[in-house]
A = this chain, B = another copy of it.
Amino acid sequence: MKPSANRPTIINIADLAGVSKSTVARVLSDDENVKKSTREKVLNVAKSIGYERNHLAKSLRSGRTGMLGLLIPDIANPFWAEVAAGAQDRASDANASLLVFSSNWDPKREKDHLKSLRQARVDGAIVNPVEDSIDGLDRFGMPVVLIGSSAELFPQLSSVGSDIKQGVHIGLDLLTSLGHTQPAFIVGPSGKLARARFLAAVNEYYSIQNIDQGELLVEEAEYTIDSGREAALKLLSRAGSKPLCIFTTNDLMAFGALLAVRESGLNCPDDVSILGFDGIFSGEISYPGLSTVVKPARKIGRRAVDLLLGNINGNEGNERIVLPCELKIRGSLADVSSARYQAI
């Protein structure tokens, strides 16, 4: 097969400019030791024939591709899209390219993507694993920055994440202040660290507050609207203890709960209050607006790239960045602390 289109190379430049390719290479890589006049001559020729550096060759020789990998579970979830956007921005600033892979929550696909990243010889990767104990991530052979809870399992890797414990606490503080002392929870799939960590934070909160919760009202769901809806329906149909409040571990599930409430002929927040977790934009246009614990998605993406670039450039560190969450209060929570309910 023909070796690609016939684009000009540094050898073409060298011939036309009457210098050696070494000199051309020096000019193009901003090496100081070149006479001003030759530099200009070379640059002119390069421009005139529309030269464009072949990154493949450069990478092969130098061992650096200037590409970073981002592996996330679901690009179609605005939270992850925001993370990607933040990473993209920062990578772009650093003149790096970002290879984005979305596994659609499929561990097999995740594994394939990891392989692709290694084969593409990215300089490093940012990963939010679908499976916590993703195989051999610590022997990945290149810098890896983790996003999210799985980081606990790889203490030697850098990581960025939001402060789930703090987020849960400010969320529960808010609920408590509104009189919701026994919220129900919709959490992610069992076996995932994210879930365990969330529930641990909940338990810790209640034990600190010295509130005896007894058994928590917990339902499990995938991180989608549909699955959140089903989980909420289950909660609502439970005999006896119909929840007045539902706290979900991501916003999509919260929207699902909202739909379920409506479907059941109930009203949010009058009958059921809902608190989400993520802070995606859609919460602003839902009705009622979704109150939620906001994770700094964009910032997470940016900081992850910062960390990764640091690692690539020799920072041996396994730095861990934990970013605080903050509350966004909208209409989905009712105040049931006084006798008659009132929306806030």
Q: How far is B75's CA from A75's CA once the two chains are assembled, in angstroms?
A: 9
A120 on the B face (CB < 8 A) = yes
Task: Say which residue of B60, B75, B76, B109 sits within 8 Å of A56 (CB atoms).
Answer: B60
A3 on the B face (CB < 8 A) = yes
Given contacts A75-B81, A75-B84, is CB(A53)–CB(B258) below 8 Å?
Answer: no
Task: Say which residue of B56, B98, B116, B142 sits within 8 Å of A100 (CB atoms).
Answer: B98
Chain B residue at minimal CB-CB distance from A74: B85
Interface size in chain A (residues, C-beta < 8 A) = 59
Q: How far is B57's CA from A76's CA once the two chains are assembled, in angstroms?
A: 33
- List the number of copies, as a whole number: 2
Task: Say which residue of B52, B63, B101 sits within 8 Å of A119 (CB atoms).
Answer: B52
- How distant is A137 from chain B, measured CB to nearest CB, in Å? 15
Contact status B76-A82, CB under 8 Å:
yes
A196 on the B face (CB < 8 A) = no
Q: How far is B89's CA from A102's CA once the two chains are assembled, in angstroms?
A: 9
Residues of B contacting A214 with CB < 8 Å? none
Q: How far is B61's CA from A1's CA once the two chains are assembled, in angstroms?
A: 10
- How distant is A290 from chain B, measured CB to nearest CB, in Å? 8
Contact status B1-A63, CB under 8 Å:
yes
Q: How far is B282's CA from A81's CA once the two chains are assembled, in angstroms?
A: 14
- How distant is A273 from chain B, measured CB to nearest CB, in Å? 16
Residues of B contacting A63 with CB < 8 Å? 1-5
A52-74 interface bits toward B, Cβ cutoff 8 Å, 1 = contact, 0 = none:
11111101111111010000000
A223 on the B face (CB < 8 A) = no
Q: How far is B259's CA from A282's CA once the two chains are assembled, in angstroms?
A: 12
- How distant is A331 from chain B, measured CB to nearest CB, in Å? 10
Given contacts A98-B100, A100-B98, is CB(A287)–CB(B286) below 8 Å?
Answer: yes
Residues of B contacting A78 with CB < 8 Å? 76, 78, 81
Given contacts A97-B116, A225-B281, A225-B285, is CB(A65)–CB(B56) below 8 Å?
Answer: yes
Task: Say which residue of B55, B64, B88 sits within 8 Å of A101 (CB atoms).
Answer: B88
Contact status B5-A141, CB under 8 Å:
yes
A247 on the B face (CB < 8 A) = no
Contact status A97-B120, CB under 8 Å:
yes
Contact status B85-A76, CB under 8 Å:
yes
Given contacts A75-B84, A285-B225, is CB(A53)–CB(B119) below 8 Å?
Answer: yes
Question: What are 16 contact pairs spanning A and B, CB under 8 A?
Answer: A1-B62, A1-B64, A2-B63, A5-B63, A5-B142, A52-B118, A52-B119, A56-B59, A76-B81, A76-B82, A76-B85, A84-B102, A88-B102, A89-B104, A99-B99, A225-B281
Given A7-B141, A55-B121, A285-B286, 6 more pairs with CB closer than 8 A: A4-B63, A4-B121, A5-B63, A54-B119, A97-B120, A225-B285
